Chain A
Amino acid sequence: MAQSAATQKLRQTPFHDIHVALGAKMVPFAGYEMPVQYPTGITAEHNAVRQRCGLFDVSHMGEFEIRGPQAVEFVSYVTTNDVAALAVGQVHYSTILNDRGTIEDDCLVYRFADKVMMVVNASNREKDFAHISKVKSRFDCTLKDVSDDIALLALQGPIAQRVLQPLTTTDLSTIRYYHFAEGMVSGIPAIISRTGYTGEDGFELYFAATDARPMWEALIATGDVTPAGLGCRDSLRLEMGMALYGNDIDDTTTPLEAGLGWLVKLNKGDFVGRSALVAQKERGIPRRLVGFTTSERSFPRHGYPVFYDGQPSGEVRSGIMSPSLGIPIGTCYLPSAAAKEGTSFEIEIRGKRIPATVVKMPFYKKGTHL
């Protein structure tokens, strides 16, 4: 078992000392020192989120604030979804493309009365900022990276609303899925966003990094909340077929290939990557991301070779033993003609090719928010 030596200087979130005090296993992730699991273990944390409620520190995520008369137009130009279609108080999922039409990042876009907020992956924060800055001068707006000032906790699970409601005067039942409100949580000003990456009901809370400890303690003091690490965040999101940047999507894949065509609004006007996507649609989409399962107990992991009809077809993008389903699940790209339920192909696991079958995503169909 190899021990990874942390040679680079890792950033810490404002919850770092809390994780360490809880006995979390800390690992380098996207330049941050993050908890992969607490002593409870990944499976128990996964089950806690599916059955009750888990609390994730995701403060490593990046937040950009865009203000000014053309804030909406700017964000709509650098992302694929239609920001003008968002109501104030609404959020959507989107992608940031380059001119080749491939994915620089996936993100959330929040529309406020006076600004737009983009939430991006920690690993891509600097790259995204530089990338979208290149076209900013065409728009009358300001762009600011506010990531270091913001703490982000995700409270996820079927009882999340019941847990959070006593801590806030905001009526949580009025916040619909992919909507948000600004309110107070345990006396701390916060953006209360009904979003998540687990397939369960839940909230993501954005607030000042300086309020990190009182917010964490107030949520834990409810007694119904299990601290949950990045390990189960990955198994929860994959069971829902939610993409992870760097695994399922990256700058070699387009949203059309990745099953994210619903994030692409070709009719909204021009945006970065649009012409490349139009061209790909006309030529035909060569491959598509699929979900698969295998009947072997030894399970495919990220990077294992994939073969369709005897020919190499890339690698496994994500692969785990599903804690909720008890079967191996994963994703890979297959030629479009093969990308349908029931197709058989092969995955090489340590030199041995085993059969795999395409299945529909989400793998887990009982999430409280699909």
Chain B
Amino acid sequence: MSNIPTDLLYTEEHEYVKPTDQPDVVQVGITDYAQGELGDVVYVELPKVGDTFGRMDVFGTIEAVKAVSELFAPLAGEVVAVNPRLDKEPSLVNTDPYGEGWMVRLRVKNNGERDQLLGPDEYAAHIGEK
């Protein structure tokens, strides 16, 4: 079974949204299920600080040994930080997807969009683990 923390929100494309200590900033990465399906991550192409994205825009690419996937912005917003460690240590996405393997922090443009994300139970059902 995949780890699906109950305090996060999710997309159908397997990104998660995690609150930070700033109310309008969220941390984004991919779920434990997604990293397991992808296998060993070898490269994560991330945007720059200051880049802006609409909801479900492609914000990056993740390359695993066997497959490549696009990364989708769960919410519209501006990139305020990218995880500097992923460049040298992409395997953090595998070992700690919700912690040290985070990808970007977004300043959310429209908090109302959060209603369109999946809750933990809905995400578990989406991946067939409920």
Contacts and interface: CB of A to CB of B under 8 A. Distances in A.
A298 B65 contact: no
B130 interface: no
Given A1-B67, A299-B63, A42 B45 contact: no
B63 A298 contact: yes
A231 B39 contact: yes
A196 interface: no
B37 A321 contact: no
Main DSSP-derived SS at the B contact region = mixed
Interface in B32-63: 34, 37-40, 42-43, 45, 61, 63
B40 A41 contact: yes
Interface in B10-36: 14, 34
Contact of B43 (A1, A42, A321, A350): A321
Contacts of B66: 36, 42, 231
A37 interface: yes
A298 B39 contact: no
A327 B72 CA distance: 26
B65 A42 contact: yes
Contacts of B42: 43, 299, 321
Contacts of B38: 1
A1 B2 CA distance: 16
A1 B34 contact: yes
B114 to A, nearest CB: 23
Nearest to A230: B66
A37 B39 contact: yes
A298 B70 CA distance: 12
Given A37-B39, A41-B94, A42-B40, A320 B65 contact: yes
Interface string B66-101: 111100000000000000000000010010000000
Given A41-B39, A42-B39, A298 B45 contact: yes
A321 B90 CA distance: 12
Contacts of B69: 1
Interface of A: 1, 25, 36-37, 41-43, 231, 235, 297-299, 301, 320-321, 323, 350
